[in-house]
């Protein structure tokens, strides 16, 4: 079998090594346009985990790599005169040129043919059985077959340049500096004695103000030597094709075409702030190698040369199926990470401890629990910081041995919540004629006794024709009011939870089927006329809603008001106005669903006019001492729809109108939205609203563990954390977390005390076991973990 590898970067070379070692009869040639010792960039980094993988696949190159690498275990964050040093990270680095030389040597030793100074024209690819396109970020092969690979490039706004210096480091170090032009960031690490990489980063406005667009490499380096004079400690910056660039996040819809396969940067890129592209390229090489191994099967060799084409086809399909998810996950983490650096101004006024924690936990891989294991003093500092803030709000909480962040209280107007966990609103589709039933009593009652600080009703509809489905509850009759009062009384008598009534109007999503009979699909019979901002149906087969008239608006406002009055009488502690998920009020806010020509359409100010009228009317009748929330879809994840920046404006408008909390959800306003799901996927929007607009927020969406709740609260990404689906199967989520974190103050109904005592006892042992397991599972490190804070 003849294999041509285009590009002698780490990806191409590593695949050549693995394949030649496993199948010596393969003819493998690596074509590289540069000379053997040409290289751009400075050092590359690998984590302990990656090194362990390399050891498994090729112990020889692993040994050569580890013998030549500089190790460090710590991350150091220099911010506003403070230094936070956090251990247990486990990295190593070496010069890119050294790595390439080691790989050249190993490849040659195995019999791989290396052809340097040979540029391959993709239009004239040789007749090989397999072509590995490892030709880097500007891949010509990808461009040649763009119609098949369908690449997409997201050019990020920040400017960055790779530079070097002789300043030694014993930690991966972040420097943050504010200048008269704006903020500069340096991501630094040592890769060999006396040699370090400095990736410089700044936002486009600062870049322009500093006039960096007019400076060449040397002049840029000189300028940055001024910015980081203290940090460079007398060392100079060196350049090597250190041009300012915008990071391109590249994704390809397909990675294979006939016998051609893309690997490394050619196939996908991930921002440098989560580790090196080198690691990803080498892991791609491993995945491709594994795909061939799996295809060749137990025989371990290509038994039927006549069928080479078939082997290649199957192996490439296998590679793409097996590797794609992992790459997309890495790219997603990298995207979240790069956004943190793009938005660093948002966190600039935070306490340095919270700033450091936010930086450490930005891409979700590192969390509160994980840091508590590696750097317990750092996490206990964070706990104190959160407790101090709470104390400043007038709570008499312990700040010496504080409760973990999720078990800190919160006050909204006259309502005090015992902790930060919320049962998110969840429609049960189980009402009869808008009446809540015993199902609702048991469902809400058991979630209240489970320990969450705040529980929400489902969207309770303000009139019969405001319902989404025939199974939705309402609050427009005396009987409904009495039924909800019964539930509220139960919650208050048997738990410490506060109870929030979510009020809404379905708008164009009304007259739909029950969730389990076809979500948002129109009722086939028994429907009723629906209204919306504009006459646009939800689905093509949905009812065309009637565009609301002024009279309709007055009627809807009156319905909301009477439902709120009923809510107050029923004893709810809080109300939330539902202006998300494409229901009536959301249909006004979204430019995709509001095409009105009057003062309720057009600009965001106009589109907000009716929702604000409803809000003001509610605030008027809702008791002053009780808080109000508004739920919004902070982004529509669709071209032309609302963005996070718009959501900040929306939140500000409601804050001016007196809202106490923004419940930050996203999407569901149109069926065409393309959400990117993942752990805590909506939390960045809560972070943006809370920290840009200074408004209390609740986040929600794929948050499933107490660890995540603590991470979010400690980092200041939200004030409350709501969980929906996890609570469907576990009403006692909060009680269990209390046992885990020893939050002994949690309220428990006396009937359940023996159960509570037991999990509190058992969790001590379970926690010790898990800690031990995690310690054992951690890749081998090279230094002791810990945390140190110092003045710069």
Ligand X SMILES: Cc1cc2nc3c(=O)[nH]c(=O)nc-3n(C[C@H](O)[C@H](O)[C@H](O)COP(=O)(O)O)c2cc1C
**Site residues (vs ligand FAD, CB under 6 A):** 6-12, 31-34, 40-45, 96, 119-120, 134-137, 140, 162, 197, 241, 264-266, 276-278, 281
Instruction: Please pick, from the candidates 701, 707, 712, 756, the single residue that binds ligand X as defined by CB under 6 A.
Output: 701
CB-wise, 58 or 427, nearer to ligand X? 427
What distance in Å separates the CA atoms of residue 136 and residue 253, rounded to the nearest whole number?
A: 17
Check residue 459 for interaction with ligand X (CB under 6 A).
Answer: yes
Residue 560 tokens, joined: 């909301």
φ, ψ at 318 (rounded to 5°): -60, -45
**Among ligand FAD, ligand X, none, partner that 701 touches (CB below 5 to 8 angstroms by kind):** ligand X
Residue 64 tokens, joined: 């050569």
What distance in Å separates the CA atoms of residue 719 and residue 627, rounded to the nearest whole number?
A: 14
Selecting among 319, 368, 583, 600, the annotated active-site residue is 583
Check residue 702 for interaction with ligand X (CB under 6 A).
Answer: yes
**Among ligand X, ligand FAD, none, partner that 33 touches (CB below 5 to 8 angstroms by kind):** ligand FAD
CB-wise, 177 or 578, nearer to ligand X? 578
Site for ligand X in 418-437 (CB under 6 A): 424-427
**Among ligand FAD, ligand X, none, partner that 120 touches (CB below 5 to 8 angstroms by kind):** ligand FAD
CB-wise, 29 or 521, nearer to ligand X? 521
What distance in Å separates the CA atoms of residue 229 and residue 227, rounded to the nearest whole number?
A: 6
Among 141-149, 367-375, 687-695, 698-706, the segment contacting ligand X (CB under 6 A) = 698-706
Site string for ligand X, 626-655 (x = CB under 6 A): -----x------------------------
What distance in Å separates the CA atoms of residue 788 and residue 377, rounded to the nearest whole number?
A: 8
Give the angle 596-600-601 at the CA atoms, nearest 5°.
Answer: 40
**Shortest Cβ 702–ligand X spacing (Å):** 5
Query: Per-residue DSSP letters for 488-507?
Result: HHHHHHH-S-EEEEEEE--G
Unique residue bearing structure tokens 């996908």 = 268
**Shortest Cβ 448–ligand X spacing (Å):** 16
**Residues of 288-316 as b/e, b for ≥16 C-beta within 10 angstroms?**
bbbbbbebbeeeeebeeeeeeeebbebbb
CB-wise, 41 or 405, nearer to ligand FAD? 41
CB-wise, 135 or 458, nearer to ligand X? 458
For the chain, the C-alpha Rg in angstroms (whole number) is: 29
Instruction: Please pick, from the candidates 458, 520, 636, 687, the single residue that binds ligand X as defined by CB under 6 A.
Output: 458
Taking phi over 0 as left and psi of -120 to 50 as alpha, with beta for the rest, 194 belongs to left
**Among ligand X, ligand FAD, none, partner that 228 touches (CB below 5 to 8 angstroms by kind):** none
How many residues lie near ligand X (CB under 6 A)?
A: 18
What distance in Å separates the CA atoms of residue 30 and residue 349, rounded to the nearest whole number?
A: 51
CB-wise, 133 or 360, nearer to ligand FAD? 133
**Shortest Cβ 11–ligand FAD spacing (Å):** 3
**Shortest Cβ 573–ligand FAD spacing (Å):** 53
Evaluated on CA atoms 497, 503, 504, 510, the torsion sign reads: positive
**Among ligand FAD, ligand X, none, partner that 8 touches (CB below 5 to 8 angstroms by kind):** ligand FAD
**Shortest Cβ 126–ligand FAD spacing (Å):** 12
CA-based nearest residue to 497, from 692, 748, 150, 123: 748
Strand partners, 83: 78, 790
CA-based nearest residue to 232, from 166, 180, 173: 166
**Shortest Cβ 261–ligand FAD spacing (Å):** 12
Check residue 520 for interaction with ligand X (CB under 6 A).
Answer: no
Catalytic status, residue 319? no
Instruction: Please pick, from the candidates 578, 637, 690, 717, the single residue that binds ligand X as defined by CB under 6 A.
Output: 578
73 and 45 Cβ atoms separated by less than 8 Å = no
CA dihedral 477, 479, 483, 488 (to 10 degrees): 60
545: Cβ contacts below 8 Å, ≥ 6 apart: 507, 508, 530, 531, 532, 534, 535, 536, 537
**Shortest Cβ 701–ligand X spacing (Å):** 5
**Shortest Cβ 321–ligand FAD spacing (Å):** 20
Active site amino acids: 583
Given the rule CB under 6 A, which residues bind ligand X?
Answer: 424-427, 458-459, 502, 578, 631, 665, 700-703, 723-726
């Amino acid at each position: 079998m003849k294999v041509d590898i285009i590009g002698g970067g780490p990806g191409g070379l590593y695949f050549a090594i693995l394949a030649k070692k496993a199948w010596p009869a393969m003819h493998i040639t690596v074509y590289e346009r540069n000379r053997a010792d040409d290289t751009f960039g400075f050092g590359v980094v690998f984590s302990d985990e990656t090194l362990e993988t390399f050891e498994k696949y090729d112990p020889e190159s692993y040994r050569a790599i580890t013998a030549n690498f500089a190790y460090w275990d710590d991350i150091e964050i220099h911010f506003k005169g403070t230094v936070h040093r956090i251990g247990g990270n486990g990295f190593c680095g070496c010069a890119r040129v050294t790595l390439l030389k080691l790989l050249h040597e190993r490849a040659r030793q195995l019999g791989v043919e290396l052809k340097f100074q040979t540029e391959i024209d993709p239009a004239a690819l040789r007749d090989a059985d397999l072509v590995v396109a490892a030709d880097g970020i500007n891949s010509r092969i990808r461009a040649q077959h763009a119609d098949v690979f369908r690449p997409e490039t997201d050019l990020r706004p920040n400017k960055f340049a790779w530079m070097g210096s002789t300043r030694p480091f014993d930690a991966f170090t972040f420097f943050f500096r504010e200048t008269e032009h704006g903020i500069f960031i340096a991501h630094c690490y040592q890769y060999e004695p006396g040699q370090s990489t400095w990736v410089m980063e700044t936002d486009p406005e600062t870049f322009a103000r500093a006039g960096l667009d007019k400076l060449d490499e040397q002049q840029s380096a000189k300028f940055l030597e001024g910015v980081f004079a203290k940090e460079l400690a007398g060392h100079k910056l060196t350049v090597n094709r250190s041009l300012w660039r915008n990071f391109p996040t590249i994704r390809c819809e397909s990675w294979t075409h006939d016998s051609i396969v893309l690997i490394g940067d050619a196939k996908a890129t991930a921002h440098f702030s989560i580790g090196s592209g080198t690691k990803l390229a080498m892991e791609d090489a491993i995945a491709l190698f594994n795909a061939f191994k799996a295809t060749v099967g137990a025989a371990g060799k290509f038994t039927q040369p006549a069928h080479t084409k078939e082997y290649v086809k199957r192996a490439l399909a296998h590679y793409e199926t097996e590797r794609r998810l992992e790459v997309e996950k890495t790219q997603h983490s990298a995207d979240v990470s790069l956004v943190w650096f793009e938005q660093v101004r948002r966190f600039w006024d935070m306490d340095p401890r919270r700033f450091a924690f936010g930086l450490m936990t930005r891409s979700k891989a590192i969390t509160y629990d994980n840091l508590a294991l590696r750097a317990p003093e750092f996490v206990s500092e964070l706990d104190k910081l959160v407790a101090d803030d709470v104390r400043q709000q007038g709570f008499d909480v312990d700040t010496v041995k504080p409760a973990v962040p999720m078990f800190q209280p919160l006050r909204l107007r006259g309502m005090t919540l015992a902790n930060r966990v919320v049962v998110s609103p969840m429609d049960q589709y189980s009402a009869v004629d808008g009446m809540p039933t015993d199902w609702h009593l048991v469902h809400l009652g058991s979630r209240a006794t489970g320990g969450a600080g705040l529980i929400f009703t489902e969207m309770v509809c303000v009139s019969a024709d405001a319902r989404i489905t025939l199974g939705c509850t309402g609050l427009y009759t005396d009987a409904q009011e009495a039924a909800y009062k019964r539930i509220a009384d139960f919650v208050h008598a048997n738990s410490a939870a506060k109870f929030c009534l979510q009020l809404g109007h379905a708008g164009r999503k009304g007259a739909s089927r029950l969730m389990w009979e076809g979500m948002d699909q129109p009722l086939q019979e028994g429907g009723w006329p629906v209204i919306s901002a504009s006459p646009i149906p939800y689905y093509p087969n949905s009812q065309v809603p009637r565009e609301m008239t002024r009279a309709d608006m007055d009627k809807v406002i009156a319905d909301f008001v009477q439902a709120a009055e009923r809510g107050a009488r029923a004893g709810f502690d809080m109300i939330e106005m539902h202006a998300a998920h494409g229901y009536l009020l959301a249909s006004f806010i979204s430019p995709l669903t509001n095409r009105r020509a009057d003062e309720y359409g057009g600009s965001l100010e106009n589109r907000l006019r009716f929702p604000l009228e409803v809000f003001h009317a509610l605030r008027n009748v809702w008791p002053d001492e009780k808080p109000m929330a508004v739920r919004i879809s902070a982004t529509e994840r669709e071209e032309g729809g609302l963005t996070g920046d718009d959501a900040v404006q929306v939140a500000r408008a409601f804050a001016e109108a007196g809202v106490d909390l923004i419940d930050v959800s996203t999407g569901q306003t149109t069926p065409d939205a393309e959400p990117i799901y993942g752990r805590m996927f909506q939390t960045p929007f809560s972070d943006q609203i809370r920290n840009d607009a200074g408004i209390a927020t609740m986040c929600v969406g794929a948050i499933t563990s107490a660890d995540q709740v603590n991470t979010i609260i400690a980092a200041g990404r939200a004030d409350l954390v709501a969980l929906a689906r996890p609570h469907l199967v576990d009403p006692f989520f909060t009680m269990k977390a209390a046992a885990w974190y020893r939050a002994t103050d949690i309220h428990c109904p006396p009937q359940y005390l023996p159960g509570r005592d037991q999990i509190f006892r058992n969790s001590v042992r379970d926690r010790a076991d898990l800690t031990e397991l995690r310690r054992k599972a951690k890749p081998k490190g090279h230094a002791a973990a810990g945390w140190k804070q110092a003045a710069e």
